[in-house]
Structure 1
Amino acid sequence: MERMDGVPPEGEGLKGGTHRRTDGQVGQWRGVFSPGGGLQPLLPPPGPPQPLPYFVRRSRLHNLPVYPRLRKSNRRLTELRHVEGDIWALERELRAFLGGRGGKEPEVQVNEVTGSLRFKGRWEGELREWLLQRGF
């Protein structure tokens, strides 16, 4: 149930609707509750989206799907999930981007069935930065 002040009830996640503003006009809101409290607006990236052969969906909590993993004997991996479309084109672009950061190109494992990429090493910050630059 929505309240008239435009704030969704507690316990609700992603919401949208209308509310009456203080000037008497009817406005619209759409946002997500943050863990610290309050409604955080969901804003689309600036400008029109680039036509790419792949798409990286955000997680259900609207975070970028980049996850650090630790395997046997301290093997550090970084996983990028929720990839749709041409996963091989994404792999080529990311390999070139990360290889241009200095050092050699990272080793990458592609899983077409689950739509995920695993990179050897810690690349969370670089992957998040690249995804945000691309408008994901």
Structure 2
Amino acid sequence: MNIQKHIEELLESHGLKKTSARIEMLKIFMDYDYALSAKEVISHMKITHDRVTIYRTLSSFEEHGILHKASEDSHGIRYALCSHECPEETHTDEHVHIICDKCSQTYCLDDVKIPKIQVLEKFLVQKISYTINGICHACLSS
């Protein structure tokens, strides 16, 4: 299946209109195997969109289960594509993220699930995050 058709079907399945900003943004996320910040998305866009459109689109994608917040650092929030099983209501793609200490990129390790942790009865768990720091393959090779 070609990328354009896949993106259009993804937007349609999540009840979102096929705008130029949404289509271009999804193409960008599909081109990278690591999470991107809003600033990085803006720098990769060929069509100029105002910042409000970019941030609203990122927020909308997160609300509709297309993107998830992979990490947050001095560069801002980094977003990554959700797995296909991630519904709109709640993100179910709880997996490990690894952040490269050299290039600061965040990678999703979709096959590595967060281990089950017993939480005291006095706590209501609202979000689980599991992050590993290290050096990515690209930085090790350079």
> TM-score if structure 2 supplies the norm length?
0.25
For normalisation by structure 1, the TM-score amounts to: 0.26
Higher strand share: 1
Larger radius of gyration: 1
> Which has the larger helix fraction?
2
